[in-house]
Amino acid sequence: MPAKRKVSAPKRSAERCDAPADAADEFPKSRGIDVPSDPEESDLEDEDAVDSDFDAALREMAADQGFDSDDSETFAAEIDADADEGEGPEDADDDENEEGSDIHSSDIDGASSDDSLDGEADSEEADSDGDEGEESPLVRTASRSTDGQQTAVGDDGGDDKLGSELLDGEGMERLTIEDFGRDITAWKEYRKTLPQIDPGYASDSSTEEPANTIGNVPIEWYADYPHIGYDIDGKRIMRPATSDELDKFLANMDDPDVFRTARDETNQQDIKLSEEEIDIIRRIQGGLVPDAEFNQYEDTVEWFTSQTMKTSLSGAQPHKRGFVPSKWEHKRMMKIVRAIRQGRITRSAPKDTAPKYYDLWADSDRSAEAGGATTGGRRQRLAAPKQALPSHEESYHPPAEYLPTEEEKRKWLAADPDYRQRNFLPQDFGSLRTVPGYDRFVQERFQRCLDLYLAPRMRKKTTQLDAEELMPKLPDPRDLRPFPSTESLVYEGHTGRVRSISVDPTGLWLLSGSDDGTVRLWELVTGRCAQVWNLKETVYRVAWCPNAEVCVFAAAAGSRVVLVIPPELCDDQKRLVSEELVRAGFGRTGGGDDDGDDDSLPVSWDMPTSAEQAAGVQVSISMHRTAKSVAWHRRGDYMATLTSEEGGSAVLIHQVSKHKSQRPFRRLKGAVQHVKFHPTRPWLLVTTQRYVRIYNLMQQALVKTLQPGVKWISSVDVHPQGDNVILGSYDKKLSWFDLDLSVKPYRSIRYHTQAIRQVQFSSRFPLFATASDDGTIQVYHGMVYEDLNQNPLIVPLKILRGHEIRNSLGVLDCLFHPIQPWLLSSGADGTIRLWT
Amino acid sequence: MARLKKKYTEGASRTYTTRNRALKKLQLTLADFRRLCILKGIYPVEPHSRKRANRGSTRLTTFYYTKDIQLLVSEPLIAKFRQHKIFLRKLQHALGKRDYTRAQTLDENRPEYTLNHLVIERYPAFADALRDLDDALCMVFLFATMPTVSRVTKEKVDECKRLSTEFMHYVIHTHALRKVFLSIKGIYYQAEIQGQSITWIVPYQFSQQVPTDVDFRVMATFLQFYQTLLGFVNYRLFTAVNLTYPPRLDQALEDNAAGLGSLRIESRRVEDMLEAARSGDDDGSNGASDDEAGNAPSHDAKAVKARMGSLEAKMQAIVAADSAAPAYEAVGGDASGGDEDALQAADLLFDKQVVYLSREVPRYSLEFAIRALGGRVGWDRSSGGGSPYTENDQAITVQIADRPVQGHQFLSRTYVQPQWVYDSINARRLLDTTDYLVGQQLPPHLSPFVEYAEGDYVPEEASRIAAAAAGFEGEVTNLKPEDRDQHNSEDEAVADDVDGESADEDEAPEEDEEAAAGVEKQYQKQLLAERAGVTFSEYQQKQDDKPAAAISKTRGGMPKRTKAQLEEEDRERIAISMLSKKKRKVVNRARADTYKRSKDLNTMKTRKAEATKAAASAAKPGARK
């Protein structure tokens, strides 16, 4: 019979799967156990099953007993096994598992039926002790009862025992329904005498003691009520009376089972745990399988083994695909085959065994021998510059003087790495073993790599010019003597700035005009002041008449120009000639211009006062504005004056012998700085702020305009030969013009550190000088050659220093001696100096 | 009417092309373009007018020669790059599909390229390659000491090690090493190979820190080219002196960190080949065919010795017959050009020396340097295997040590510090060892690369060495520190103020003109005094009241100028004023340069004086104790 069951197990599970879930839940075991029975009996069974499950079970049992009384043990075991598989929480689980997978469920079934086999064997021994030993934990749990009912249960158990004892011990045979035949009532009577059978799990769970069914309601909700939950009639289930704490305590002290008692709040009962239950708890706590009997390491049952069974478990034929070669594999193979045929897949080329390095330049050597070009006509590459080689400071043990000071170190550390002059800090490690690794080595190599491929290259022509080579090849100044080089005399006496000086044509006398309103006459070689004229106004200009026959000078003081014949200076002969020249004009009536526009000229020729006449002042020419400049024509008859007047009337030309004045320009552009007669030609040089205009007085036309390109011209002088002009400016520049060449300067020289006040040629020697506000006088050699192809030679010769700077004014005027190579200069310090 | 000419069709805009235009033309990514530029040696250029080159735009861009880019178009490497790109894509695809067999096949057939054609293209003549070898050597020597990290593979490092060792062997073999300099960055070597000076730097042998701010891809690209270059150069150099290339690697020695000794340098001279031909068929086929497959197996010291003995007579006949082949005397003794006369005594400086290296000295450098100058070297076992001498060997004449205290000292040898070797090489003669004995304070180590121009500061040691080289020993014309010291002590009374004064001068260096103005002022003062009737002696005394100023004048470097000098200066200034603006600038710059140099010179001199003074004062109290 067990073997039969075993075989039927998978079949049953299959049935179950087929059956609807609720139907299967009803009474699995009635269909599960394949109990052979009469059709009659089964009818009865069906009939009773409708009435009561319990009766059905009972009848079944009775039927079993009736058929197989020898197998009573087997029957009991079967019941147990059924209980194993039967209803209850575990069973539901089983069902779920079964639905999950067939194999698994069959496995479980198998296992449980094995259990049942074991149980059978056990029951044979334990029959005399009752069925307690065989009870599975689940059965035990079901038979567990509350405290109150314990006795009842115990009674049941006792009855049970009693029953079984009665049956076994007395050997009295239990009657079956068959024995009664048709007498149903008798059977019923008899049945009443039979002991009660513990239904266990074979019966419905409704047979159990009704528990309080409050559901999931938390028990605290009933804390304030005298009852807990409701019974089936809606009546309150009252709380049982509770003893006070002391009683509880005493009860606990008395009760030896207090440690195994737990409180069921829902039912308000104390539950006493059995030994097995405690054992289960212990096992759970210890992380073991709760069931003590469960063997985790059972022998494997090979349901599906490699060993071929005589008869297979299933009758299904093996699938065809197990014998037929794979189509897809074939496809893939064909793909490869095709690729090989088409040559897409080739055998990997044999590894190159040729030497890695060989004589790469063999061919180039041959072509070089043949004289072929190596570059192949390509652009010449710019080779990257090599890295600079290290100097002493990079040494691990440099000389002490190459080590940086503390401050240099600090500066180096503070500086941005890109702006450091060196990328390392010189250091002295006394010996080689103390030298550490250089931590920026890789970075520096990397930087070099970046330079090689990212830095633009450019062929840069650097002129390795020696400064000495660039210096102009100037002749030695010592070869260009004579020129003034030392200060030899100082004329002191003026109390204001000496604005102007002039030397008489004989070279013996020196005139000076100053801000203190005086004109002084000096004996040039001794420095004696011969005479003083007090003109009471600033003397801007003094100028000897260049005519050597006469002895007259003009002085511009304030708004008038006076003509003076110094009385002590000349002999009678000369005096007569001079006086004739100067005073002849007074005889002429009108004294003005022939043109008839006399009135419009801002000039009047006056007789000076008698006191002045006594001092030698012969004529006074009054103007409307301050007279700034006086320039004599080389013949000594004409004289040009410049006033601060605006327009054409600023420049006037006077004829001394006739006391006649004329205005050469109706209009003049710009503020006129200077006027000067050309030494050889009938030209007048009018200097405005930016330009020098040269007019031809005979033709009354503009000859040319010199454009020095300076901001403010201060002074002009013309070379005695007349072809070259020098020009000084307040912006420190000296310009040399060659009139034959261009209207732009031939040479501009900037040496002075302050404005140039005066430029002067020497009339006799190839010299010229510039006087400046920086207190110096610069003497140059300025040679003009007869050969027109040869450019003038300009050589700076000497810087003369001596004048003091007052109110940022230095040397105001300078002048070459007409005969000697001497220079005279006057300054803002009120002195006049002679340089020889 | 003539046809209007289109703008930017000729001239600078055609000559130059911008980087972006180049990328577009070449259809390359920037990374590939850069790699290509590195390998091909194409560099950006700076046009004369950026605006004209960039079609009127003044944006900052990089320019290349259009012809260079044109040249790149036909570069076979570009195709290789593209192949590699496709290969990578396929590999990624296969890996993504987990088709590992395919990935493996792909990887086995990964496209490879060589740079051989680029070497010959960039350096059409061997001399060009030698001229550009500096960077290659620096890089290869650096990577030979690199740790293997993700970007630097072991193969690369091993290859670099091998190439660098081969090159060193060549330098040793031809005694080409000329200068060595121990810098704080590393060791500089300079060798003269075929008339070219080649300088390279080797880092000190510590494990290199692999920095994070360095793009190793760039370095790797450079390295790739440099390795190829150096390989071919080595081949050429080795074969030029009749050595087999590549030299055999002795794995056992290599594993034992023998360094230079791990490579077997073998000759492939005429008699060797003849010998090979004579000895048998097995060898003959090899020896005649090729060099590197060559005669390796027959090379034993024993065999060579035997051969040398037997072949002595035969050689004469062979040499006579083959006049083209130069005569050699000994195995390893053959020179670079083949002429023994070229080898001067200075190139075999350590010829008679047997040097033993203590374990604390850098063997990798000293072994190379000493062997390159003809010496024989042994070393401690802890610094590598393969040493031909043990410490107890009686043949050892010099032991290099860097520890102040030595254990057992042999009386037969001199114990010197490593700097002696390097200074001797740079001086090209064996220096006196007294200054370099173990435990001595070493003399300063000077750079051999410095060449002194007129007016440069020459350190005392350099002048001493130069004087010694010129032939006379002893006193140098330079002021000895002792003399200076005495001089200092003489005017110590005034010297106290000096420091402050000179410092002032340093802070506010007088401009040329200002100095002149100062002198002028002084001159004027003298004139005034003269006029006031003060006699010269009185005037002088008055001046002496300010001695510090006077001393600072004389000691600050600018000596007191005489009247003639002043006049000369005046003339010079006048002459400068005569120059055109352009020339004046040049002259002024030159003058400023001269002035700066003279100032630097003075600074160095004063520092030197201070240092010697400090050293003397430090020595004195020690003497007292």
Q: Can you name the CATH fold of B345-436?
A: Rossmann fold (3.40.50)
Give the mean pLDDT of chain B.
79
| Chain A residues 467-496 with CB within 8 Å of chain B | 467, 470-472, 474, 477
| Rg value, chain A, Cα | 73
Give percent of chain B with pLDDT exceeding 70: 74
Is residue B481 scored above 50 in pLDDT? no
Span A756-810, pLDDT tens digits = 999 999 988 999 999 999 999 999 998 888 888 888 888 888 888 889 998 889 9
Residue whose C-alpha is closest to residue B438's, from B486, B461, B405: B405
Q: Does B539 touch chain A (CB under 8 A)?
A: no
Q: Across residues B413-427, what is the average pLDDT?
A: 93
Nearest CA in chain A to B290: A355
| Chain A residues 746-765 with CB within 8 Å of chain B | 749-751
Return d(Cα A454, Cα B42) in angstroms, integer: 9
Residue A128: C-alpha distances to residues A169, A209, A812, B341 (Å): 9, 29, 156, 125
Is residue A657 scored above 90 in pLDDT? no
Q: Please indicate whether, in this complex, the C-beta atoms of B575 and A471 are within 8 angstroms of each other.
A: yes
Return d(Cα A453, Cα B42) in angstroms, integer: 7
Of B67, B138, B583, the CB nearest to A445: B138
Q: Please indicate whether, in this complex, the C-beta atoms of B208 and A392 are within 8 angstroms of each other.
A: no
Q: Please indicate whether, in this complex, the C-beta atoms of B184 and A395 are within 8 angstroms of each other.
A: yes
A166-170, B160-164, B403-407, range with the lowest pLDDT = A166-170
Residue A744: C-alpha distances to residues A18, A741, B420, B468 (Å): 125, 8, 70, 64
Nearest-CA distance B313 → chain A (Å): 33
Q: Residue A355: list chain B partners with CB under 8 A.
A: 290, 292
Domain residue ranges in chain A: 2-209, 245-285, 392-428, 477-835
Residue predicted with more confidence, A284 or A156? A284
Residue predicted with more confidence, B502 or A755? A755
| Chain A residues 390-449 with CB within 8 Å of chain B | 390-392, 394-402, 424, 426-427, 429-433, 435-439, 441-446, 448-449
Residue whose C-alpha is closest to residue A792's, from A782, A805, A801: A782
pTM greater than 0.90: no
Q: Across residues A479-487, what is the average pLDDT?
A: 87
- Angle, CA of A279, A280 and A286, to the nearest 5°: 90
Q: Which pLDDT score is estimated for B514? A: 55
Q: Across residues B85-109, what is the average pLDDT?
A: 93
> pLDDT confidence of A371, banded at 50, 70, 90?
low
Domain residue ranges in chain B: 12-74, 79-108, 118-261, 268-331, 345-436, 485-624
For testing contact with chain B, the best of A357, A364, A735, A778 (most B CBs within 10 A): A357
Give the mean pLDDT of chain A.
76
Q: Which pLDDT score is estimated for B114? A: 92
Q: Which residues of B158-180 are buried (b: 16+ CB within 10 A; e: fewer)?
A: ebbbbbbbbbbbbbbbbbbbbbb
Is residue B315 scored above 50 in pLDDT? no
Q: Which pLDDT score is estimated for B399? A: 93
Q: Which pLDDT score is estimated for A56? A: 54
Collect contacts of B31-37 with beta carbons under 8 A, ≥24 apart: B31/B217, B32/B78, B32/B81, B34/A453, B34/B218, B34/B221, B35/B81, B35/B221, B36/B72, B36/B75, B36/B77, B36/B78, B36/B81, B37/A453
Is residue A708 scored above 60 in pLDDT? yes
Q: Please indicate whether, in this complex, the C-beta atoms of A750 and B218 are within 8 angstroms of each other.
A: no
Span A323-339, pLDDT tens digits = 899 999 999 999 999 99
Q: Which pLDDT score is estimated for B343? A: 59
Span B547-567, pLDDT tens digits = 444 444 444 445 577 888 887
Residue whose C-alpha is closest to residue B296's, from B268, B270, B274, B256: B268
Residue predicted with more confidence, A7 or B54? B54
Q: Please indicate whether, in this complex, the C-beta atoms of A456 and B132 are within 8 angstroms of each other.
A: no
Element (H, E) at A801: strand A793-801
Q: Which pLDDT score is estimated for B621? A: 63
| Chain A residues 339-368 with CB within 8 Å of chain B | 348, 355-361, 363-365, 368
Residue predicted with more confidence, A453 or B315? A453
Span A447-456, pLDDT tens digits = 999 999 999 9
> pLDDT confidence of A248, banded at 50, 70, 90?
confident
How far the first Cα of chain B sits from its last, in Å, is: 104
Per the listing, tokens 């002067």 go with A760
The two three-digit tokens of residue A388, written as one number: 């600079």
For testing contact with chain A, the best of B183, B218, B579 (most A CBs within 10 A): B183
Give percent of chain A with pLDDT exceeding 90: 28
Residue A702 DSSP SS3: strand
Nearest-CA distance B483 → chain A (Å): 18
Q: Which pLDDT score is estimated for A49? A: 41
Q: Please indicate whether, in this complex, the C-beta atoms of A386 and B134 are within 8 angstroms of each other.
A: yes
Cross-strand pairs, A826: A813, A832
User: Which DSSP string do the residues of B560-605 spell out, in sequence order?
Assistant: PP-HHHHHHHHHHHHHHHTS-HHHHHHHHHHHHHHHHHHHHHHHHH
Q: Which pLDDT score is estimated for B540? A: 63
Q: Please indicate whether, in this complex, the C-beta atoms of B199 and A381 are within 8 angstroms of each other.
A: no
> pLDDT confidence of A195, banded at 50, 70, 90?
confident
For testing contact with chain A, the best of B35, B43, B204, B603 (most A CBs within 10 A): B43
> pLDDT confidence of A28, banded at 50, 70, 90?
very low
Q: Please indicate whether, in this complex, the C-beta atoms of A357 and B234 are within 8 angstroms of each other.
A: yes
For testing contact with chain A, the best of B513, B578, B585 (most A CBs within 10 A): B578
Q: Which pLDDT score is estimated for A244? A: 84
Span B469-479, pLDDT tens digits = 776 444 443 43
> pLDDT confidence of B508, banded at 50, 70, 90?
very low
| Residue type at position B302 | K
Cβ contact A537:A519 at 8 Å: no
* DSSP 8-state assignment for residue B45: B
Of B37, B132, B447, the CB nearest to A390: B447
Q: Which pLDDT score is estimated for A687? A: 92
Q: Please indicate whether, in this complex, the C-beta atoms of B184 and A348 are within 8 angstroms of each other.
A: no
Q: What is the ipTM of this complex?
A: 0.78
Return d(Cα B579, Cα B584) in angstroms, integer: 5
> pLDDT confidence of B276, banded at 50, 70, 90?
low
Residues 6+ apart with CB under 8 A from A559: A537, A622, A623, A624, A625, A626, A627, A643
CATH classification of A477-835, choosing from 3.40.250.10, 1.10.3720.10, 2.130.10.10, 3.10.580.10?
2.130.10.10
Alpha helix segments (H runs only) across B343-387: 363-372
Cβ contact B300:B291 at 8 Å: no
Q: Which pLDDT score is estimated for B279? A: 62
Q: Which pLDDT score is estimated for B62? A: 94
| Chain B residues 83-122 with CB within 8 Å of chain A | 108-109, 116, 119-120
Q: Please indicate whether, in this complex, the C-beta atoms of B444 and A466 are within 8 angstroms of each other.
A: no
- Using N-to-C axis directions, what is the helix angle for B154-174 and B216-240, rounded to 10°? 30
> Cβ–Cβ contacts within 10 Å for residue A821, how many?
18
Residue predicted with more confidence, B284 or A540? A540
| Rg value, chain B, Cα | 34
ω into residue A482 within 30 of 0, thus cis?
A: yes
> pLDDT confidence of A234, banded at 50, 70, 90?
confident
Q: Across residues B497-514, what is the average pLDDT?
A: 43
| Residue type at position A539 | V
Q: What is the 3-state secondary structure (H, E, C) of B205-269?
A: CCCCCCCCCCCHHHHHHHHHHHHHHHHHHHHHHHHHCCECCCCEECHHHHHCCCHHHHEECCECC
Residue A43: C-alpha distances to residues A49, A64, A178, A722, B608 (Å): 10, 15, 15, 165, 132
Residue A333: C-alpha distances to residues A17, A338, B107 (Å): 45, 9, 22
Return d(Cα A375, Cα B128) in angstroms, integer: 11
Burial of A385 (0-12, 13-18, 19+ CB in 10 A): exposed
> pLDDT confidence of A589, banded at 50, 70, 90?
low
A263-277, A430-444, B216-230, B267-281, range with the lowest pLDDT = B267-281
Q: Does B446 touch chain A (CB under 8 A)?
A: yes
Cβ contact A831:A803 at 8 Å: yes
Q: Which pLDDT score is estimated for B533? A: 65
